[in-house]
Amino acid sequence: MIIVIKPHTPSDSVQRIIDEVAKLGYEPKPIHGAVQTVVAAIGDETTHQSLESLLTWPEVESVLRVQKRYKLASRETRDASTVHVAGHPIGTGQPFCLMAGPCSVESEDQLMTTARAVKAAGAVLLRGGAFKPRTSPYEFQGLGEPGLKLLAAARAETGLGIVTEVLAERDVDLVASYADLLQIGARNAQNFSLIKEAARSQKPILLKRGLSMKIEEWLLAAEYALSEGNPNVILCERGIRTFETYTRNTLDLAAVAIAKKESHLPVVVDPSQGCGRADLVTELCKAAVALAADGLLIEVHPCPAEAWSDGQQQVDLNAFSNLVREIQPFIQLVRP
């Protein structure tokens, strides 16, 4: 860390700061300028106490971090990683991964119809929520375990892997016994005890970005799963809350590019929650592919107008197959 001391601080006060840096476990290397002293504090910032507390000293102007707060998620630690889900490799240099299916599992007919169609169009993973995080307690909360059973039946028939959300710590074992990829939703993206419990299941984790989460916080949430000994984490950008009202959320495409630079983890994009409008999904998918996202998570419903959740943002089966066709040239360009 770097400690910048205010100009014209008397040398005995400067020395007190240097001594404190040493006391906190860092090797202080002071650089005395004409008016100001800067102290480089050498030590592992991820294991030592943060020196930001020195800001409480009136002589300290600023304290700057040098190391990233996330160690295991950082690109500095390793080259791009690949996460295998139901036998499909996801990550840089791997085939583009299409995950699609309804927002919520509603019925056998709805799920099977969707599963067959998304498989025929080229999806390799089937999404569908059995436990739904709804803003209102009066809205459809998901079918629970019967929904998981329908997902398992869809996998048995189509061979598609299953992506589904785990909402609560107490459900991790249950959901993990059905899922190939455990989704941690935006509302739980900083529920660290849930993330740790999900990671301990050793199932791959799809970590959505929280509604108002900074990129650093998102990567630190991933760090919780990684530090639990589960290396199989996929980041999912799904839009953040902004002042804009033409879209449900603002899909933060810069965050996709930044996450790919900052982290070795695969990054996928959910354009459905990302904008909340079916008419924009195809365009956003093209943009995500062009940005070198590693996959897409798309909401697809046989009859969006009758969907029990998120109808306005789900594309129908025909639109999905057109979408897959339209993004092909972009995939060829980015992943020849």
Task: Kindly tell me which of 187 and 286 has the beta carbon lying closer to ligand PEP.
Answer: 187
Strand ranges, E, within 137-201: 161-165, 181-184
Residue 198 touching ligand PEP (CB under 6 A): no
Nearest CA to 238 among 190, 187, 308?
A: 187
Of 310, 317, 320, 327, which lies in the binding site for Mn ion, with binding defined by CB under 5 A? Answer: 310
Cα distance between residue 171 and residue 163, in whole Å: 15
Q: How far apart are CA 2 and CA 291, in angstroms?
A: 34
Q: Give the burial class of 109: count Cβ atoms within 10 A of its Cβ; 0-12 exposed, 13-18 middle, 19 or more buried.
A: exposed
Q: CA-CA distances (angstroms) from residue 275 to 29, 188, 312?
A: 49, 19, 10
Residue 66 and residue 192: Cα distance in Å, rounded? 25
Kindly state the smallest distance separating residue 56's Cβ from ligand PEP, in Å.
38
Kind and range of the H or E run holding 38? strand 37-42
Tell me the per-residue interface mask from 67 to 86 with ligand PEP, x by CB under 6 A, - otherwise.
Answer: --------------------
Q: How far is the CB of 313 from Mn ion (least distance, A)?
A: 7
Q: Are 223 and 70 in contact (CB under 8 A)?
A: yes
Does 237 sit near Mn ion (CB under 5 A)? no
CB-based closest residue to Mn ion: 103
- Per CB under 6 A, which of residues 266..295 are in contact with ligand PEP? 270, 273
Q: Which of residues 91-120 bind ligand PEP (CB under 6 A)?
A: 103
102 near 306, Cβ under 8 Å?
A: no
For ligand PEP, which is the closer residue by CB, 28 or 161?
161
Q: How many CB atoms lie within 10 A of CB 93?
A: 10
Residues 95-114, mask of contacts with Mn ion (x by CB under 5 A): --------x-----------
State the nearest-atom distance from the C-beta of 273 to ligand PEP, in Å.
4
Q: Does 185 contact ligand PEP by CB under 6 A? A: yes
> Interface with ligand PEP by CB under 6 A: which range of 18-26, 141-149, 179-187, 253-261?
179-187
Stretch that binds Mn ion, among 37-45, 112-120, 250-258, 304-312 (CB under 5 A): 304-312
Which residue in the set 203, 208, 248, 260 belongs to the binding site for ligand PEP (CB under 6 A)? 208
The answer to whether 328 and 151 are in contact (CB under 8 A) is: no
The binder of 208, among ligand PEP, Mn ion, none, by C-beta within 5 to 8 A per type, is ligand PEP
Site map for ligand PEP, 222-251, x if CB under 6 A? ----------------x-------------
Whether 219 contacts 211, CB under 8 Å = no
Nearest to 273 by CA among 211, 317, 216: 211
Output the CA–CA distances (angstroms, integers) from residue 101 to 18, 31, 129, 202, in the order listed. 58, 59, 9, 24
Choose between 294 and 310: whose C-beta lies nearer to Mn ion: 310
Task: Work out how close the CB of 186 gets to ligand PEP at its nearest, in angstroms, rounded to a whole number.
Answer: 4
Q: What is the rounded distance in angstroms from the CA atom of residue 265 to the CA atom of residue 313?
A: 27
Q: Which residues bind ligand PEP (CB under 6 A)?
A: 103, 129, 133, 185-187, 208, 238, 270, 273
Q: Which residues bind Mn ion (CB under 5 A)?
A: 103, 310
